[in-house]
Every structure is written in structure tokens, then in C-alpha cells.
Structure 1
């Protein structure tokens, strides 16, 4: 049975813009990275689908995996499977009490906690060593209440020099809007801190004589980095773009 109301397309668009868990152009891969790294069982978010206008994907963490569901805007409501809902909030209210479906392992998927796009990331890492310690054995006492919304990442990348155009391996950390690189993992002081609020673009780069390269464009300089694999490079690009999009939306 249809649950459509007489809401206009404008009303539906307005609902999307005010929805705290609508991540707009976040990719499938980035959604999985965020939910697995920082979410919990039942965390969910809505994002645009590659199927075209009016098509969305609901990404939900189910224990150690992320499931994706098609949601379509049609007429004055939203369609999910054989069900129709007048609003996205009605959709969530319905499935908060009734599992979406059972996974291959027999796990019931329930929407429990929206994953917000507006992330206020506390500075919980005093140094790279503390950061590493928390990542390997953190407890609830190590984190502030909103820490599940953290979008952090760290790892080795190879960076091209600014003056001497050689490539050197550096340890990178991403926390809040600070993208830092260190001589190695155990160094406490960064060589440089890049403020992503000044970054205009992050993208794959095919101009270098190396594979798996990407670049960050700043007003004064473009930084060229290389990852070990294409998948790893894509992970960095997606999480960095997510940060930049969040910055832009905060300014609006």
C-alpha cells in the first residue's frame, strides 16, 4: 500500500538538505570505510547512487560488513523494495523497529544510529605515538562521546619533493582538517601540516612516472603523493574529498 502524501518535489528536496545523515556524493567505498572505521552495528547513512537523479543508496553497517540498499525518489515519496514512504524519516522510523532483511550469515539489519555528515572531530591525539596506541588498543575512556563520528586515517605514502623532485616515503596522519606528514611513524613532530580548509581539489594524477598517484591542490603548491596500491590511493582520495565537502557545506 502506498504511503505517499501530497508533498511537492521541493519539499522532498528540502528534506534531503536538512537531513543530518545525507552525505550527498560520498562514494560507496568511502561510505564503507567510514562506517567500518568509525561507526557501529546499525550505523547508517544516505548517499547519492550512480544510477542517476532521484536514486540513492542507504549504506548500513551490519557487524563487520556494510550493506547497501537502493532507495528511489518517485512522485511524492520514496520507494524501497515493495514499500513506499512519504518521507525519509518515515522510512527510518519503519525500519528502526523492523529489520531491513537478513544477511547471508543470518544477521538481521536494523537502523540504529545515523552517521552525520557534520562532524566535529575532537583532537584526541596528542602525538603520533598516542594516536598509534589508541588505534591498536583504545577503550571508551580514550574517546570523547562523539568520537564515533571521527574520520581519521594514517599510513605511509611516497611524496614528491618541492625543490628536489625526488620521491621519499613519509608517514601521513589525517585528523580533523589537518593532514600531517612525518619523517617516519615514530616521529613526534611533523615535517609539515596541511590545512585542508585551503585545499581546492584532491584527485588521481597520471602526469607522474609512477602508478597509484594522486595530488592535493593548494593555492601555493600542488602536492603529489603515491600509494602502494590503487585501492589504497582511492581510500585516501575518498576520505580527503569527504573532508573537503564537509568544509564547503559548513561554509554554506
Structure 2
């Protein structure tokens, strides 16, 4: 993957694949902690003045921030200066260790791209992290939605008594949970998608807009209110399964 375009008139910074523009410090922390891994990093604007940038790096369960200054003749990072972003990236490849404020060495393993491969047809998907005004750093990170979240009412067929009941479903990471109602605190069940072998439309039921999730011990039959909504659920669930397969 190239971080650069061939258009010389384009600002080089704007072509950097992991430059997140005006992402805030707290949003960067929520993004990297929710969806990144140890060593994930991104570049963003800093509020410390014109030409100020920040490199945010995840180190296990925390995120460290490093000051980068943009100058007419390049970029200043620590005690070093780089004429172009390409030199900046080469530095990361050859000198991957960074000392945090606590003196800990961190490895820059993977840039976090601002464009993420995700389904684009379903509703209520957070491409990165939704930040709401008024949240503090302490309550922002744990409650930040993850990539590819979805929620909504679906009608589910019972496992033993084959009746249909409306349940509130939430999808977060690789967990599909369903609740008695939207306001319920405890889920009736949590389904681990890592054990799911297939998600597909189902036409065996008398109802319409149905789909099923196939597990070794059981097949879950679910119905949406509309065909579009069923299609959205199927697309995001299939995308989740594809991400699980890539990680195996």
C-alpha cells in the first residue's frame, strides 16, 4: 500500500494514509484502544499552535502522544528533522522504538489508516469512533463504539418452542447479544461469532425478510422488518466473519 499519490500538487501530508486530520486527543485514544492493537499509531493535528502535529501510539492498554512540528523545510520529531513524510516513514521502519514519558520503549508496528475497509450499505455503523460533546477522558474510552457496530429490533424464533418474539440485538466486535427489550441491562444471550460458519437469507420460514446464523450446535433464525434491514444485518455479519477468517 502506498501512502503517497503521484500528484505533485497535492499536499504531501494530505496523502498520508494514517493522517487523521482534526481527530482530537481523546478521540485518538478511544479509536486506538477500541480498534487498534499494541503498536498501532496515527498522525493528527495538535492544538498547540500552527504546524503542530501529534503522533498517537498505542502501548498495550494506554496511548502515548508525541509532538511533531511541521516546518517549511520538513518535519521535526524529537531531536531529528525530516525533509519529507517519506523520510518520516522510513525513519519509523528503521528506528521503530520510541521512549514514552515514563521511559518505556514502544514499537511502532502498524499505521492506523483513516480509511477503513468496511461495509457501506447498512445504517448506524461508526466508521471510526463517535465522540459526543461533554464526555470526559475517563468515560469516553470504555464507552466508545467499536468499528462495525449495529443495533436494532429483530424477531427471533425460539430454540425449542418455535414461536417468534421481538428482541433487541446489539453487535459489537464479534459478539451478537440479544435482550428482552432495548432498555434491558442484561442480555438474554451472548453469541460468539467466532463459532459461526455462515450467515445467509432464509426462505424456509412463513415470514419474510428472514436470515439465519449457522452454528455447530444450533441455527438462529431471525427476521427484520424490511428486506433492506435484513440485507444490512447480513452484510455486516458476513463482514465480521471475513475478518475472523483473516485473523486465523
TM-score range, shorter chain: 0.3 to 0.5
From the CA coordinates, give the structure whose radius of gyration is larger: 2
Report the TM-score, using the length of structure 2 for normalisation: 0.46
Structure with the larger RCO, 1 or 2 (CA within 8 Å, 6+ apart): 1
